[in-house]
Every structure is written in C-alpha cells, then in structure tokens.
Amino acid sequence: MFRPFNFQLTALRALGAFLFLLPAFPALALNAMVQSHGDLSRDDWNQNETLLAPSNIATPGNFGKLFNHSVDGHVYAQPLYVPNLNIGGTTHNVVFVCTMHDTVYAFDADTNQAALWQVSFLGTSGSTVISTIPNLEVASCNDTPSEYGVMSTPAIDLSTNTLYCVAATKEVSTGPVTHYVHRLHALSLTDGLEKFSGPASITAVWNGTGGPITFDDSLEINRPGLVLYNGLVYSFWSSHCDDGAYYGWAIGYSASNPTLGPQSVYNVSPVTQRGGIWQSGAAPAMDAGGNFYMTTGTGAFDAASSAGGGVDHGESIIKFTGGASPVIADYFTPSNWAALDRIDNEMGSTGAVLLPDSMGTAAHPHLLTCGDKAGNIYLLDRDNLGGFDEGPGGTDAYLQKMNNAPLTAFATFMTPAVFNNTVYWSFVDSPIEAFTVTNGQYNPVPSSSTSTPPDFHFPGVSPAVSSNGNTNGILWAIEPDPANVGLHAYDATNLATELYNSNNAPGDVINSPSNKFTPPTIINGKVYVATANSLEVFGLFVTVTPFPTPSATRTPTKTPTATPTGSPTGTRTSTPTLTPSSTATQTGTPTPSGTPSSTATPSPSGTPTATGTITFTPTITPTPLPGFGPIVASPNLLQPGQTTTTFSVSEPGATLDVTIYDMDGEKVVAGHGVPGSSRCYWDSTGSASGLYLANVKVVEPDGSGRSQILKLVVLH
C-alpha cells in the first residue's frame, strides 16, 4: 500500500546538502523501449518523441550518424532501450543489443564509450565446448548468417530490471556427443548477471493424438520476439527453412523467483506438423484481455468441422489464450489455405498488428490487420476473427481483403507500422505505401508512397514511426539492399517527401549489411540501426528545445494486467504435460568463471544554488509502455530558454502527485493529478535559477504506490 510521505525540514536540508555533493545528473529520458515493435499492439509507433521532427530532420547539417558500436555478430533482434539506469554508480540511458554470436551488450545510448557490460553465452563448461549453432548443420538454406545465437528480440521487465532472451548453442562433450540447446536467460539490466536461478533449457511435451510430441532443439528456432505477461515469459517457435518434422510451439516459462521453469505450452499443429510461428521476427500482439494474436505458417488446417474437425491451425491467424491450460479461442483461416500452402505463400510471413480503437466502428470497434506472403492485406474483427468459410455462402468472413503487391512470387515479409489512422505497408521491390483506414475500412488507393528509387528490395522493410502525439510524424525505414544499405526518413503525412537519406552524406554511410526484418528503434532524439556487425546511432547534431507534448493523443492499446476470467471456447482444452527443464551454468563472458565485464563513466559534477517560486500544470497523458517503471523527469536540468519539466511513469492508469520544495525545505507548489494522470508538467517560468527537489508520489489503480525524490536544476 502507498505510504504517506512526511518529509521533515531537517531531513530535506540534509538531503539537499548530500545532493550538492553528487555529480549533476544528465537530462533523463521520458521513454523506454522494452519489447518487440514498441508495445503490445506491435504498431511500432513511438508517439512520445519530442526532439525529432520533420523540420529539424530535413535541415541540412542538423541530423546524421553520431557514432557506432561494434559488435561480434549479426543483430537480428531489435535494439531495446531503458532510461536512467544506475550502472557502476553512474546513471545512463542504455541500449541493449543481442547478436547471433550469442552475446548481449549494454551500451550507453548517448555516447561512444565501451560497453557498460557484455555477456557471452559461449565458452566451456567442464569438458563441454559451447559454441553457436552453425547454420548448415541444421538448415538446408543460407537464409540467415553462418550461425544461430540470439535471434529473437528480448523482452524487458522494468519491475525487476530483468532482460529475458533465448540463446541457441551447440554443445560438444566427450565422445564426442553433440547437443543443440535453446536456453532462456534472465539477465540483470545493471550488470548482466543471471537471475532467478537461470538459465533454463527450453523443453516442452504435448500429448498429441498419436502420443507425446517432444520439443526438438535441432529442428526449432525462436524467431518472433519474446512476450512478458502475467508472470510468464513466452517464446514462439518455427523451423529452419521448413526443414524436418518441426512444429509451431508457444511456450511460457515463469519469469521470476524462485526459478525459471516451464508453465505453459501449446502446439499449433500436433497432427500434421508444421504451423510454425515466425512473423518476420515480430512478437505476437496482445490485447487488454491477455489474448495473443499470431499468424501461423505452412501446415495443414483442419480445425473447423467443415475441414475435418481436427486440432491443426496452420495457415491461420489465431487468437491464443496462454496460462497453464492454453487454448485457441478464435481464428481466421482463408478458404484457399491449401493453395497458399502448396506454393509457400503462407499467412505467417507478417506479424499481426492491433489497430487503435479510433480506426474501428461501433459494429467492429477492435480491428486487427495482417497479411500473407502473396501480398494480401487482411482487416479482421478481433472480437470475431471469422473462422473458416463463415462468410455469406461459405466465403471468407474477413472485414476486408486487398492486394496491392507487385507481381512477384513472394511479396510480403514485414510488420506494418501505424500513425494517425494510417497503416504503412512495404512490399518486395516496391515503394512503401500509406493506406488510411476510415469507417473501419482500408482505402484501397494509397494516400501516399515513397518515391523511387529506392524500391525496397527483398525482403522489404518493417517501418517504424516517431511522432509527438499526433504531430511531427516521421516514417523510418532501413533499405535492405546489401549494396546500398541506408536509413531513410519520410514525412509520415506524405511519403513522397523524403526528409533524410543516410547515403546522401559521406559521413553517414552505413558500411555494414543490414539484417532481415529488424526495424529501427527511434527514441529520445536518436535512431538505432542494427547491422551485421554494429549498432549505428543517428541523431541531431544541434541542440533543440523539446516540443511541448500535446494534451490529447491517441489512446494506446492497454497493457493486460490479469488473467482473463471465463473460459474461451476452443477446439482443444486438455492441459499439456511438460518435461522439467534442465539448467545450464555457463554465463558471463567467454571464460570458465562466467563473470561479465562492466565499465562506467562518471557524470560531470557541480550543482547551482536555488530560490524562487514556480507554477504547476498537471496534464492527463497516458503512456503506452507496459510494466512497473521508474519515475522520470525530463529534462531535470533546465537550460536557459527551457521552462518545462515533464514527470512521467510508464504504468497506464497511474496517478501522480508532485510537490516541489526549495533548498530551505519550503514547499513551493504542489499538484494532485486526477486518476490516470501518469504524466504532468511543471512550468518553471518566473522561478529563480537553482536546485529544487520534487517529491513525486505514484498511486496505482489498485491503491498501491511509491514515492521518489528527484533533483531539478533551473538555469536562466
């Protein structure tokens, strides 16, 4: 429960004297990026970007490549970002990078310094040699780099400061005996050490009609991003190049103490096999009720009575309920699924995206969009996905289907982005196209498209959007052409206007190949681009005053907070049987001791004195970020000309109370937010230069809460 804050004058003065001895904090960031494609809707729209705008991106000399961080392998996972982490006694904004060489890096997000820490999952354990999995040992194609390591985007839990990732390893012991292993790692954000008795080997058994089906490490690969929900971390599985007798799996492990352990498993197509989940790397979307939405690839469908009344859900979009007894609550399967399957034009090539409710109608308020490899775009009602042949006369029961792809065999390998009732699609060898959604329907004619060149070659791009609320929208894309890799920025309201192209400035050129399916990460004035051997960091060369955040922005997809009540109707309700996992002890850098390295750079010191009065203006602005996050103030160092500090927490529905004290312990002003005001603003116009202390209380919807003291410096 929330404990009232009683700050005695003497204690406040003592704290003030102590803070004067501390180094001045850098300006703290508002946002975090803790999961695949931004949030649970997977729309890859960061609507809290107050620094980057079309006006300053397009001005020559304003924006470009700042620096890069070299890494030891291909980066297929989307970079993640956490602000205001204390590492080695210094506060950093941190970007996390995972490689196919089985290394996790924590870099300072704003400076070109050595890794704050890095952890390798390779090395030796006794007589066992642990390496990455060579591609050609498990795959018949060269569709990915020469090795498999960490391929999927991790998930970060801000409430425990933990990063979860899945690493693939080849382990050769005396004999020789070779094992291929996938492990779930839980790493501390501050030092990279394993938590919760991790890591844990991924294991699963499904009781099929023909007997138990066991998860096979040599056939499976974790391509979609991980998902955290209700105390479990979920991984999703498909095959290497459609090789072998693989299955599509959804596997949930406990995400906290005392140990990581298997808790939930589902097999998509237990009878006819396949039905893999890969989604071009995107994590499955989730709604406020805790339902997953994911597309499945090649494989048979027989779940409808008209198709045999079985249990297989290949070539479908499925609504999946996790937990100890997972079921498929709903699905949509196109009537031509068998034809799609024969020519490898499956549904599973795109990730599913939940559209904002503003794009729906009274009859269909909750929309979902996805596509298939042939370039078909579907619009579905996620409250009733459509089943199989349930439309008029036994037709497909989608809300809309359209095809704007070029005449190529394989056209769509991506997850679309969303901004202001517009969805951005990228087809192979085509420009990016913007489609508006009005009255619950796509306008089949694009509202705008990028100019050519470039045509975005195979496999196309997964774009991302940054904006300040509903203004200053920028669409970002990474050109995947190996001979012409580049970061592009477009005006999101008119894609014909290219704002920036990294290939137009010699100092901005990206010299390393890009990776399939990995979108850029845009946050707090910087753009992070993952490549084959580096993290390229772009940003502003000039100092800009943050744009005021609009008071009215879109309503984000809410973070699920509890297991849904009631049992959804599904075709399978049996409780799966799981084989207990074994754990590995190989952690840290590639040495037997397994201790990760850690470095930190101190911040500059010095803090001014303070007196004065201020005004306080609360504003209700919910944020889309899930989890129990830190209280942040941005900026906490107000430079000349800046007057506004923003207080923010990541939990939707939280309420802020803010009280500002001067260094004599006098209360200057206080403000009480109405329920749901998880962000508010302090306008310091008229206040004296100096140091102030803000006591920020956070009250959760359930009445629990916490408080934190933040240091604020005003300069005039």
- Dihedral angle at the C-alpha atoms of 693, 190, 82, 679, nearest 10 degrees? -30
Same domain, residue pair 197 and 345: yes
pLDDT digits (tens, 9 = 90+) for 655-665: 887 888 777 66
pLDDT reading at 617 higher than 50: no
User: Is residue 284 situated within a structural domain?
Assistant: yes
Same domain, residue pair 308 and 404: yes
- Dihedral angle at the C-alpha atoms of 617, 622, 623, 628, nearest 10 degrees? 100
Q: What is the pLDDT of residue 642?
A: 77
User: Is residue 81 situated within a structural domain?
Assistant: yes
Same domain, residue pair 354 and 463: yes
pLDDT class for 108, splitting at 50, 70, 90?
A: very high
Complete DSSP assignment for 513-554: -B-TT---EEETTEEEEEBSSEEEEEEESS--PPPPPPS--P
pLDDT class for 355, splitting at 50, 70, 90?
A: very high
pLDDT class for 547, splitting at 50, 70, 90?
A: confident
Q: What is the pLDDT of residue 407?
A: 57
Structural domain harbouring 700: 9-24+606-714
Q: What is the pLDDT of residue 649?
A: 78
Q: What is the pLDDT of residue 14?
A: 33
Same domain, residue pair 368 and 440: yes
Do 660 and 606 form a contact (C-beta atoms < 8 A)? no
594-600: average pLDDT:
33
User: Is residue 63 situated within a structural domain?
Assistant: no
Same domain, residue pair 154 and 255: yes
pLDDT reading at 589 higher than 60: no
Same domain, residue pair 531 and 615: no
Mean pLDDT score across all residues of the chain: 81
Q: How many domains does the chain have?
A: 2
Do 335 and 395 form a contact (C-beta atoms < 8 A)? yes
Q: What is the CATH number of the domain that holds 700?
A: 2.60.40.1220
User: Is residue 352 situated within a structural domain?
Assistant: yes
In whole angstroms, what is the distance from residue 249 CA to residue 247 CA? 6
Same domain, residue pair 324 and 188: yes
> Pairing relation of β-strands 45-46 and 464-468?
parallel
Structure tokens, 336? 């031509």
Q: Regarding predicted confidence, which is higher, 365 or 344?
A: 365
Same domain, residue pair 277 and 147: yes
Q: What is the pLDDT of residue 709?
A: 77
Same domain, residue pair 274 and 374: yes
User: 510, 540, 570: which is the final residue of a domain?
Assistant: 540
Do 649 and 698 form a contact (C-beta atoms < 8 A)? yes
Q: What is the CATH number of the domain that holds 205?
A: 2.140.10.10
* Chain-centroid distance, C-alpha 667: 40
- CA angle at 52 for the pair 49 and 56, rounded to the nearest 5°: 160
User: 512, 540, 568: which is the final residue of a domain?
Assistant: 540
Return all residues near 398 (Cβ < 8 A) that are at least 6 apart.
332, 378, 379, 380, 386, 391
Q: Regarding predicted confidence, which is higher, 29 or 63?
A: 63
pLDDT digits (tens, 9 = 90+) for 146-182: 899 999 999 999 999 999 999 999 999 999 999 999 9
Q: What is the pLDDT of residue 575?
A: 27
SS (H, E, C) 205-265: EEEECCEEEECCCCCEECCCCCEEECCEEEEEEEECCCCCCCECEEEEEECCCCCCCEEEE
User: 540, 568, 593: which is the final residue of a domain?
Assistant: 540
In whole angstroms, what is the distance from residue 435 CA to residue 492 CA? 11
Burial label for 21, CB within 10 Å (0-12, 13-18, 19+), is: exposed
User: Is residue 453 situated within a structural domain?
Assistant: yes
pLDDT reading at 670 higher than 80: no
Same domain, residue pair 16 and 155: no
206-219: average pLDDT:
90
Structure tokens, 629? 């996050």
Nearest to 384 by CA among 402, 396, 371, 366: 366
Q: Regarding predicted confidence, which is higher, 30 or 148?
A: 148
pLDDT reading at 568 higher than 90: no
pLDDT class for 99, splitting at 50, 70, 90?
A: very high
Q: Regarding predicted confidence, which is higher, 658 or 294?
A: 294
Same domain, residue pair 530 and 649: no
Same domain, residue pair 536 and 661: no
Q: Which residues pair with 168 in a beta bridge?
A: 182
**Sheet with strand 486-491: strands edge to edge:** 45-46, 464-468, 471-479, 486-491, 494-501
Return all residues near 121 (Cβ < 8 A) that are at least 6 apart.
102, 103, 130, 149, 150, 167, 169, 183, 185, 199, 586, 587
Nearest to 109 by CA among 80, 71, 89, 75: 80
**H or E stretch at 16:** helix 9-20
User: Is residue 593 situated within a structural domain?
Assistant: no
pLDDT digits (tens, 9 = 90+) for 438-456: 999 999 999 999 987 667 8
Q: Regarding predicted confidence, which is higher, 630 or 570?
A: 630
Q: What is the pLDDT of residue 570?
A: 34
Q: What is the pLDDT of residue 708?
A: 75
Q: Regarding predicted confidence, which is higher, 314 or 629?
A: 314
Do 58 and 104 form a contact (C-beta atoms < 8 A)? no
User: Is residue 62 situated within a structural domain?
Assistant: no
Do 223 and 246 form a contact (C-beta atoms < 8 A)? no
659-673: average pLDDT:
75
Do 381 and 463 form a contact (C-beta atoms < 8 A)? no
pLDDT class for 632, splitting at 50, 70, 90?
A: confident
Q: What is the pLDDT of residue 679?
A: 77
Do 464 and 507 form a contact (C-beta atoms < 8 A)? no
pLDDT digits (tens, 9 = 90+) for 374-428: 889 999 999 999 999 888 888 999 999 998 766 565 678 889 999 999 999 998 8
- pTM equals 0.75
User: Is residue 568 situated within a structural domain?
Assistant: no
Q: What percent of the residues of the chain are helix, what percent strand, and what percent coil, each to the nearest 5?
A: 5, 40, 55
